[in-house]
Amino acid sequence: MRNSIRKGFRFETYVAPEQSPFEKLFDIFKELIVHTSGDVDEALDWLKQLDDEYELTTPEYTLDDFVEDLKKKGYLREEIKSDGEGNGDGSALKITAKTERAIRKQALEQLFGKLKKSRSGNHRTKAIGTGDEQTGEFRDYQFGDTLDRISMTESIKNAQINHGISDFTINERDLVVEETNFKAQMSTVLMIDISHSMILYGEDRITPAKKVAMALTELITTRYPKDTIDIIVFGNDAWPISIKDLPYLNVGPYHTNTVAGLQLAMDILRRKRNTNKQIFMITDGKPSCLRLQDGSYYKNSVGLDNHIVERCYT
């Protein structure tokens, strides 16, 4: 009787990867700093509460040691507080650009997993055109083809067939070009809703929104460097922000002016030279605000207001 091979899942006891005390605390700190919108003191207070409950530190490596390591490694900096008149009033801890990059990288890994390294990040299409990925298909040389696209092996083979080996010559009719796949570029605008409803009824929607935004920007900037991404936030109005501002993003006492966000996004994309353009919107609900021509605001949070909704399509 033949032995049958059973296929399926094999479950094993999870073995956590070995981490230093600093790495364990740093993973938690990066998570907390997103929830506190970049407030280091509040994040450290939360970390202390977690330490009191779950004993994250040891007598050999305390929270004070962790904070000192954050400073030494360039993740925290001390900033002199001012009373508004230029007089120093103590110092405050702030995260650095290095921390911002680490937070975006963590968000990318949480949402998309650890992406394996592959070829240069361009969007592959089925269209034939200028690119760096060869298709294996050949055609006759045409005036205007660049020299780097000529397949020398196939061209020499043609010359030997056409003219013989004893008196080797090669001319334009012998040249062949290998086709390559056209690589498209994309311009993206990411819209983030920062209206009050993003934290309404005690539900934190802005933190997941920030994580998605940071993961998407990290994906595009690292894997598709030829693409462009712009970020805008919208409440009663809409305005652009930079990638480094994402960890500090917070909601305000705003309604949801989706129209203003879409108008700004379209204005940004009109200035882009790429053919491929897209808009991503992160929001929790319906549009509830319009800015009128006289500068005043028309607001309605009850149900779907047809006057506001129709403006989203015009």
pLDDT tens, per residue, the chain with 314 residues: 455 666 677 888 888 888 999 999 999 999 999 999 999 999 999 999 999 999 999 999 999 999 999 999 999 999 887 655 544 566 899 999 999 999 999 999 988 876 555 444 455 555 445 555 555 677 787 777 777 777 788 888 888 888 777 777 788 888 888 776 556 788 999 999 999 999 988 899 999 999 999 999 999 998 888 899 999 999 999 999 999 999 999 999 999 999 999 999 999 999 998 888 999 999 998 899 999 999 999 999 988 999 999 998 87
pTM greater than 0.85 (yes/no): no
pLDDT of residue 207: 95
| Cβ(147)–Cβ(155) below 8 Å | no
pLDDT of residue 182: 58
Ordered structural domains, the chain, with CATH: 21-95 (no CATH), 123-183 (no CATH), 185-311 (3.40.50.410)
**What is the identity of the amino acid at 51?**
D
DSSP 16: P
Of 151, 198, 199, nearest to 178 (Cα)?
Answer: 151
pLDDT of residue 160: 83
| Cβ(132)–Cβ(120) below 8 Å | yes
Buried b (16+ CB within 10 A) or exposed e, 231-264: bbbbbbebeebebeebbbbebeebbbbbbbbbeb
Of 313, 270, 307, nearest to 291 (Cα)?
Answer: 307
pLDDT of residue 128: 47
Alpha helices in the chain (DSSP H): 21-35, 40-54, 63-72, 97-112, 152-163, 206-223, 258-270, 306-311
Q: Give the Cα separation of 62 and 21 in Å (integer).
A: 9
| Cβ(243)–Cβ(217) below 8 Å | yes
Q: Is 221 helix (H, G, I), strand (E, B) or coil?
A: helix
Q: Which pair of structure tokens corresponds to residue 221?
A: 């900037």
DSSP letter string, 243-312: GGGGGG----S----HHHHHHHHHHHHHT---SEEEEEEE-SS---EEE-TTS-EEE--SS--HHHHHHT
pLDDT of residue 118: 47
